[in-house]
Amino acid sequence: MASRRARPDPAHVEWEKAARAAIGERVDGGAIPLVVGPPHDVEGAALVEQGFPGEAPYTRGIYPTMYRGRLWTFRQYSGFGSAVETNKRYRYLIGSGQTGLSVAFDLPTQIGLDSDHPRAVGEVGRTGVAISDLGDMRTLFGGIPLDQATVSMTINATAPILTALLVAVGEENGVPRARLGGTVQNDILKEYVARGTYIYPPEPSMRLTVDLIEFATREMPKWNYISVSGYHMREAGATATQEVAFTLANALAYVRAVQARGLDLDEFLPRLSFFFSADRNFLEEIAKFRAVRRLWARLSKEELGAKDPRSWQLRFHTQTAGSSLTAQQPELNVVRTTLEALAAVLGGTQSLHTNALDEALGLPTARAARLALRTQQLLAEESGVVSTVDPLAGAYEVEWLTDRIETGAREYLARVADMGGALVAVEKGFFQAEIAREAYRVARAREAREEKVVGVNAYSEGNPRFSLFPESRKKGTPVLRITPEQEARQVARVRRWRRQRDGPQAQSALEALRSGTQTGQNVMPLALHAILQGSTLGEISDVWRELFGEHWPSREF
């Protein structure tokens, strides 16, 4: 029996021609095709009809040319000690080829405490950079061109304050707020679910979140006003399906809250962004990114009623899984991170952070941070995977996983809708309970060695500091430590700031903030005014503490 000759799909030929022309490539130039699909008119060749990259529902990516047109942003998450020390690290990473900044803040900054607060003792600068006032923020971004470098800030309960601080520094340096580019996380709902750095009860916290979104929509057109984050829920133990479902449930809650303010859906939705984990299961993670992109396109169009195709596009940042890192044999973390980063790239991420090998032991050293960045650069420059968009499309396993994750996420979304939405589900503790059950199951499986972790419960050397590299065996893995002297310097600096400012002006601005918050004004202009008058992050947070109270978690589930 004579074999039938495979013929190119005419639609594919035309799409490829247009897409490659957009990035200046000749179609007959011998380059690898942007998209490889089944040959046309060959029986059984087409597994599924996925459409092309850049076309709704965006299973295959939101841009036609993806990384052939532009690489993802190398956005390494970093921050430690004081603004002086973190600024030096940022300059080092930019000099090493990093293309976007991502700010890690210390615990006091995240929960609205100045560095000299009694509850901040021992925590200043330990999980990120300490920021208490405008002076700290000026130092943090000193010498960094904010009109060129995009900035991502992982901050939630105090997101309005940190955004106001960035606006103030930008405008002092001739960069108006309309030209500031980057992202603020501003996702308070997942703090109640997984991360824990909330301050106020959910309802007033949502008000602050929406105030920031409204302000940025109208005055910061290049700014991504929220990064709805599944990452921390995944780190707490969520499955891939739960990560997708709970993240999108939270996103729907934010969108409806903003709509209730009267903003047009297609005005603010294109600036909404997402943040996901890249975990250990390589194929499942790739499928997860494809599934969440497709599901969001359908939800935003069919359920929310968005008309602009940009509103249907899910843009996301990815970080490799911190929960997969091990203190035992830490050099193996380089391998784990590489596989996780590759999954993110094959899944079509817009920006990426790769964890350092020593993060299970402490803050990353400069050397480890550089190696983490080089991991991304190696994938971009040497692996060849950037040449083709969604190269695993059509693989039976990947398509089956994509469908399974979307189906499972839809089932969860229906349950959340029946409860009255994500805010109610969070207040009742539903998300928290579902994640806790999965985390317990995994812990039991690892204890029983049913789920293996190399170097921990399988292939263990018995010494948690054992290294494959002889020169490291005696010393172990170097760890960056924050000293009491560093904390003392930061505390002294904050107290000096208060002494040198105009105290009555700062107090007057705080009173205006209190009054405006009580009467329902958008808090962003009020917070910005208070910042410019010398008020500190802790003082602004305390105004809201007095008005809103503090949150205690529900035990309903």
Give me the mean pLDDT over the 427-436 stretch. Answer: 95
* Band (362; pLDDT cuts 50, 70, 90): confident
Grade residue 553 by pLDDT with cuts at 50, 70 and 90.
confident
pTM: 0.90
* Tokens (6 digits) for 364: 């990353």
Summary mean pLDDT of the chain:
91
| 100-104/73-78 β-pairing | parallel
Give the pLDDT of residue 160: 98
What would the mean pLDDT of 450-455 be, rounded to a whole number?
93
pLDDT confidence bin for 478, thresholds 50/70/90:
confident
Please classify residue 110 by burial: count the beta carbons closer than 10 Å to its beta carbon, then call 0-12 exposed, 13-18 middle and 19+ buried: buried
Q: For the segment 95-126, what is each residue's pLDDT rounded down to a tens digit?
A: 988 888 899 999 999 999 999 999 999 999 99
Report, as an integer, the average pLDDT of 310-335: 96
The predicted pLDDT at position 76 comes to 87
Other C-beta atoms closer than 10 Å to the C-beta of 262 total 7
For the residues 317-343, what does the mean pLDDT come to? 96
Cα–Cα nearest to 480, from 67, 33, 25, 79: 79
Report which of residues 227 and 51 the model is more confident about: 227
DSSP summary character for residue 241: H
pLDDT at residue 149 tops 90: no
* Phi then psi dihedrals of residue 216, to 5 deg: -70, -35
Above 50 in pLDDT, residue 470? no
Whole-number Å distance between alpha carbons of 509 and 526: 8
Mean pLDDT along residues 130-137: 98
Sequence-distant (6+) residues with CB within 8 A of 422 are 189, 246, 249, 250, 252, 253, 416, 431
Q: H helices of 183-318, where? A: 189-190, 202-219, 231-235, 240-260, 265-268, 282-298, 309-312
Measured in degrees and rounded to the nearest 5, phi and psi for residue 272 equal -75, 135
At residue 425, does pLDDT exceed 90?
A: yes
Residue 2: the pLDDT is 43
In the structure, what pLDDT confidence band is assigned to residue 23 with cuts at 50, 70 and 90?
Answer: confident
* Segment 508-536, tens digit of pLDDT: 999 999 999 999 999 999 999 999 999 99
pLDDT score for 40: 53
pLDDT category, 464, cuts 50, 70, 90? very low
Q: Is the pLDDT of residue 43 over 60?
A: no
> For 144-153, what is the mean pLDDT?
91
Domains defined for the chain, CATH in brackets: 69-447 (3.20.20.240)
Locus of tokens 């420059």: 381
Using alpha carbons, list the distances in angstroms from residue 103 to 3, 100, 152.
59, 10, 6
Residue 86 has pLDDT above 50, yes or no: yes
Q: Which of 151, 150, 162 is nearest to 186 (CA)?
A: 162
- Residue that wins the pLDDT comparison between 314 and 23: 314
pLDDT tens-place string over residues 268-308: 999 999 999 999 999 999 999 999 999 999 999 999 999 99
Neighbouring-strand partners of residue 101: 76, 151
